[in-house]
DNA sequence: GGTCATGTAGACCGATTGGTCTACTTTTAG
DNA sequence: CTAAAAGTAGACCAATCGGTCTACATGACC
C-alpha cells in the first residue's frame, strides 16, 4: 500500500481488502481504521456511513477489474486467443494470495434483497464481463456472439466459484478447455450452415 | 413449516432459511427464535452456540441437497438424460421463491479462512456433486469421467452463481446446452479413437 | 508567527450482539 | 394427582457495533 495514496483512497482500499477477505458484515469500522491507519473522524469525513464505504469499495474493485480486460488485450492479439487468455489470467488471479473469490458474488451472498445497491453494482460488473466477451466474439465473426458470450461468462463465473470453494486454480484450465470445445463446435456448425446455405444464397443473388 | 416437526429440527430449519436469505453474520439469534417460535433457552439447550447452529444448518441443507440426486434419477432413466435432467431441475430450483443462490457458496464467501469448519462442509458438498456427476458419466461409458465431471460440476456452479447474481434462471439452459456440446464432442472423439485403434487391437488379438 | 484546515486518539452514545439465568407455565409419565 | 421434564418470556450481562464529538497535534500558507 503506497504511502502517497490519497487518504480517501487509502481508506477505500483497506476497506475493500477487508470486505474481500472477511466479508462485509464481519468487517468492523475499527478494523478498517487500523488497516488504513486513519482516525475515525477522518473516515467519516470522507464517507457518511459504512454502507457508503461499502459502495465505494465495490466501485473501486470494479475499476480494478476493468484493468483485467486491458491485460487480456495485451496478452494476445487475435480475438480467439484473447478469449482463451482470459482464463490464463484468471488462473494467475486464483493463484495470487489476494484471491478470496469474487467480491461481487460475495456481496450478493450477503445482500440478496433485490434492488439492493450493492447487488446492483455487482450485476453491472457482470454485464460488463458479458459485454467484453461478446465484443471479442464479434471480432472473430462468431455466428452467435450473444449466446456464446452467455456461455463463456457462465464458465468464467463457474471457474471463480470452483476455485474459491475448492481451492483449485485448475478450474481455470477446465473452463478454458470447455471454451475451446464450444468455439470449435460453434465455428464448425457455422461452416456447415454456410455450405448448406450457399447454393440458396447464390440463387437468390442471381435471380 | 409443519407443526409436527421436532423442536430441534424446527430451529435448524428456521435458522437455515434465515442464513440463506440474509446471510450468516446478518442473522441474529433473536430473529431465529421468532421464526422458529421458540424461546432462547430452548435453542441453547439444543445448540451450544450460534456457530454450532450454523454447522447444523449447513448439514441440514446438505441432506436436503442429497434429495436432489434422487429426483434426478426419477426424472430420467438413461445416464445421459439424467445428466441433462440435472439442469432442468436446477432451473426449477432457480425459479422457486426459495432461491438465494447456494448456501455453501455463500458460507465460503463469509468464512474464507482455510480450515474453517463451515468451509469444510461446503467443500464436502461440492465433492458429492462431483461424485454424483462422475457416477453418471461412468454409467454412460464416458471415455474420461473424471475430467468430464470436473467440467460439468463447474457448469453447475456457474449456472447457480449466474442465476443468483443476475436473476436469470435461463443460466440453467445455457449450462445444459454446454453439457450437450461437451458430451457430443467427447463421445465423438472417443469413437474416432476407437476406430483408429481397432486395427491395432485386432492385430494384437490375432498375434 | 499566527491561522485555519486537516489530521489523530479515543471517550462516549445508544443499539444490538451472542449468551446466561431467573421465574413462571405447560406437558408428560408413573 | 403429582412431580419431574421441558417449555416460555424476557431481564440481564459483557462485548461489540456504527456513529458522534471533544481535545489536542500537525502542517501549509500568507
Indicate the SS3 state at residue A117.
helix
CB-nearest to B185 from A114, A175, A185 is A185
Question: Which cell numbers hold the place of A194?
Answer: 454456410
Task: Detail the DSSP E strand segments found in chain A.
Answer: none
pLDDT per residue as tens, chain B (207 positions): 444 578 899 999 999 999 999 999 999 999 999 999 999 999 999 999 999 999 999 999 999 999 999 999 999 999 999 999 999 999 999 999 989 999 999 999 999 998 999 999 999 999 999 999 999 999 999 999 999 999 999 999 999 999 999 989 999 999 999 999 999 999 987 665 555 555 544 444 444
Task: Identify, with chain letter, the residue nearest to nucleotide D16 (CA–C1').
Answer: A28
Binding residues for strand D (Cβ < 7 Å) = A 27-31, 40-41, 44, 48-51; B 7, 37-42, 45
Task: Estimate in Å the CA B119 to C1' D5 gap, whole number.
Answer: 37
| Chain B residues with beta carbon closer than 8 angstroms to that of A114 | 167
Indicate the SS3 state at residue A198.
helix
Residue A39 CA to residue A129 CA, distance in Å, equals: 36
B11-17 long-range contacts, CB within 8 A, separation 24+: B11/B36, B11/B38, B11/B42, B11/B43, B11/B46, B11/B47, B11/B53, B12/B53, B12/B56, B12/B57, B12/B60, B13/B60, B15/B53, B15/B54, B15/B56, B15/B57, B16/B57, B16/B58, B16/B60, B16/B61, B16/B103, B17/B98
Instruction: Report CB contact under 8 Å: A150, B122.
Output: no
pLDDT in tens, B51-78: 999 999 999 999 999 999 999 999 999 9
Task: Estimate in Å the CA B21 to C1' D7 gap, whole number.
Answer: 28
Length of chain B (residues): 207
**Residue bearing cell 438424460:** B81
| Chain B residues with beta carbon closer than 8 angstroms to that of A156 | 158
Residue A37, by phi and psi: left (phi above 0), alpha (psi -120 to 50) or beta? left
Structural domains in chain B, sorted by start: 58-206 (1.10.357.10)
Instruction: Report CB contact under 8 Å: A112, B21.
Output: yes
Instruction: Report CB contact under 8 Å: B105, A108.
Output: no
Angle at B98 between CA B96 and CA B101, to 5 degrees: 100
Instruction: Report CB contact under 8 Å: B151, A100.
Output: no
Residues within 8 A of A (CB atoms), B 173-192 only: 174-175, 177-178, 181-182, 184-185
pLDDT in tens, A104-117: 999 999 999 989 99
| Chain B residues with beta carbon closer than 8 angstroms to that of A162 | 126, 153-154, 157
pLDDT in tens, A135-158: 999 999 999 999 999 999 999 999
> Which residues are within 8 A (CB) of A153 and not within 5 positions of it... i.e. 6 or more apart?
A126, A129, A130, A133, B162
Amino acid at each position: 500500500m503506497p504511502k502517497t495514496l490519497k487518504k480517501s483512497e487509502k481508506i477505500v482500499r483497506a476497506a475493500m481488502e477487508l470486505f474481500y477477505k472477511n466479508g462485509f458484515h464481519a468487517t468492523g469500522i475499527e478494523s478498517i481504521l487500523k488497516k488504513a491507519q486513519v482516525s475515525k473522524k477522518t473516515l467519516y469525513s470522507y464517507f457518511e456511513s459504512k454502507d457508503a464505504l461499502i459502495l465505494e469499495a465495490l466501485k473501486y474493485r470494479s475499476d480494478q477489474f476493468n484493468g483485467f480486460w486491458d491485460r487480456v488485450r495485451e496478452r494476445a492479439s487475435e480475438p480467439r486467443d484473447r478469449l482463451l487468455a482470459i482464463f490464463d489470467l484468471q488462473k494467475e488471479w486464483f493463484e495470487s494470495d489476494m484471491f478470496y473469490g469474487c467480491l461481487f458474488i460475495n456481496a450478493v451472498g450477503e445482500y440478496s434483497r433485490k434492488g439492493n445497491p450493492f447487488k446492483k453494482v455487482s450485476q453491472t460488473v457482470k454485464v460488463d464481463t458479458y459485454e467484453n466477451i461478446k465484443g471479442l466474439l464479434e471480432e472473430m465473426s462468431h455466428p452467435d456472439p450473444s449466446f456464446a458470450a452467455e456461455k463463456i461468462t457462465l464458465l468464467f463465473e463457474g471457474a471463480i466459484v470452483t476455485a474459491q470453494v475448492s481451492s483449485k486454480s485448475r478450474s481455470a484450465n477446465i473452463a478454458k478447455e470447455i471454451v475451446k470445445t464450444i468455439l470449435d463446435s460453434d465455428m464448425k456448425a457455422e461452416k456447415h450452415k454456410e455450405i448448406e446455405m450457399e447454393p440458396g444464397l447464390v440463387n437468390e443473388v442471381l435471380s
